[in-house]
């Protein structure tokens, strides 16, 4: 299925602060073997996308500070496939940059956009779902996103409301009615009860023509800023142009900037064992658990009267825990975190506080 017109954009510039203290600014979670499989998350993502497009058609957009890490972990790619961002500007500029780079190579491209740090356990089903999305966007020119059936009223995810779509090439393709970003617990429970809301996976599929048209309409400033570089992409002038462009570029996500505004958005209802691995709690569900529902990564952990905990500590470290119920315990980079699982969304705030109180050393 590796169609030469298929391209993949891997977004790999995030810091993953909710996975602190393992994920640090200098070494974010996408470069870690978090699951203990022998592959880092970005390596797993790259291998998965090879089933969709040729190796040379995969572009990795990352922070300039992570270029060396990307090339070390993906030795089969060329430097030209790593697009470096001088500043963090969220996902819309990241995608716009890659779009124009692809346009300079192949105006007939169809594009899959995927984060670098997601877990997908049913890869064959994932590929089939992408095939449906590619067929749909080629038929209609609509923007596609992949929706995941929610298993719990999670307040850390975005939700997609959908209805039937007459022009669907498959009965799993629906029309998007609304996007709701990170609802409160009451609203999340109502969404689950209604049955017509799925989680937003953050994985997108579209033709180059369709997404460029949408950028031009909904984010014209970003579109025009990157369009001004036509003729400089894939040349020695590209780096200077991108540095100047990013310095003035709006910080905005593709969700807010395009997907929530566009009227031509479809969702493919999907089930391919997805997790965004955004938090320690999401990792908990993918790690083997003992008889007391403790998920432990570490060779020398002793638990007494402990239930429902996520523990991740260095292999050589002896850790003895007693009486904990529903906690996250993580030691990494000479830092120890002990936090209630139910409060894991607060880790991001804790990291911001640490930066203010202790400087960059620990983050």
- Give the phi and the psi of residue 213 in degrees, each rounded to 5: -60, -40
Please give the pLDDT value at position 278. Answer: 82
List of residues 6+ apart from 362 with CB closer than 8 A: 21, 333, 335, 354
Cis omega before residue 21 (within 30°)?
Answer: yes
* Spans in the chain with pLDDT lower than 70: 1-2
Q: Nearest 5 degrees, angle CA 90-CA 91-CA 96?
A: 120
Please give the pLDDT value at position 113. Answer: 98
Please give the pLDDT value at position 154. Answer: 84
**Hey, what are 310's tokens?**
């996520």
**pTM confidence score:** 0.93
Please give the pLDDT value at position 1. Answer: 47
Q: What is the 3-state secondary structure (H, E, C) of 52-74?
A: CCCHHHEEEEEEHHHHHHHHHHC
- Give the phi and the psi of residue 174 in degrees, each rounded to 5: -125, 165
**Which domains, from first to last, does the chain contain?**
6-278 (3.90.550.10), 281-362 (no CATH)
pLDDT in tens, 166-175: 999 999 999 9
Please give the pLDDT value at position 157. Answer: 87
Q: Nearest 5 degrees, angle CA 126-CA 129-CA 130?
A: 90
Pick left, alpha or beta for residue 251 (phi over 0 → left; psi -120 to 50 → alpha; otherwise beta): beta
Please give the pLDDT value at position 15. Answer: 86
Please give the pLDDT value at position 316. Answer: 86
Q: Going along 33-169, which residue ranges are E strands?
A: 58-63, 82-85, 110-115, 119-120, 143-148, 158-164
């Amino acid at each position: 299925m590796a169609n030469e017109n298929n391209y993949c954009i891997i977004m790999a510039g995030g810091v993953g602060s909710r996975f602190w203290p393992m994920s640090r600014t200098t070494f974010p979670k996408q470069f870690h073997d978090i699951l203990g499989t022998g592959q880092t998350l970005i390596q797993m993502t790259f291998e998965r996308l090879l089933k969709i497009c040729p190796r040379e058609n995969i572009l990795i957009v990352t922070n300039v500070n992570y270029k060396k890490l990307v090339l070390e972990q993906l030795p089969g790619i060329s430097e030209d496939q790593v697009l470096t961002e001088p500043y963090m500007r969220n996902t819309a500029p990241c995608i716009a940059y890659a779009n124009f780079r692809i346009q300079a190579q192949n105006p007939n491209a169809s594009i899959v956009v995927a984060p670098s740090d997601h877990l997908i356990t049913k890869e064959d089903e994932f590929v089939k779902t992408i095939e449906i999305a590619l067929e749909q966007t080629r038929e209609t020119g609509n923007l596609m996103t992949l929706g995941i059936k929610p298993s719990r009223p999670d307040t850390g995810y975005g939700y997609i409301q959908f209805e039937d779509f007459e022009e669907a090439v498959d009965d799993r393709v629906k029309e998007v009615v609304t996007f709701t970003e990170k609802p409160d617990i009451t609203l999340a429970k109502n969404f689950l009860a209604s049955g017509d809301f799925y989680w937003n996976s953050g994985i997108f599929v579209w033709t180059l023509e369709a997404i460029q048209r949408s950028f031009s309409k909904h984010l014209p400033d970003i579109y025009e800023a990157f369009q001004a570089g036509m003729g400089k992409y894939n040349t020695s002038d590209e780096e200077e142009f991108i540095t100047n462009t990013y310095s003035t570029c709006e910080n905005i996500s593709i969700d807010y900037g395009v997907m929530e505004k566009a009227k031509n958005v479809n969702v493919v209802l999907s089930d391919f064992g997805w997790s965004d691995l955004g938090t320690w709690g999401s990792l908990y569900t993918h790690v083997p658990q003992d008889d007391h529902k403790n998920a432990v990564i570490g060779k020398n952990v002793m638990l007494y009267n402990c239930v429902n905990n996520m523990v991740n500590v260095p292999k050589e470290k002896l850790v003895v825990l007693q009486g904990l119920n529903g906690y996250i315990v993580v030691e990494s980079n000479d830092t120890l975190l002990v936090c209630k699982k139910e409060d894991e969304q607060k880790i991001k705030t804790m990291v911001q506080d640490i930066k203010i109180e202790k400087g960059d050393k620990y983050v």
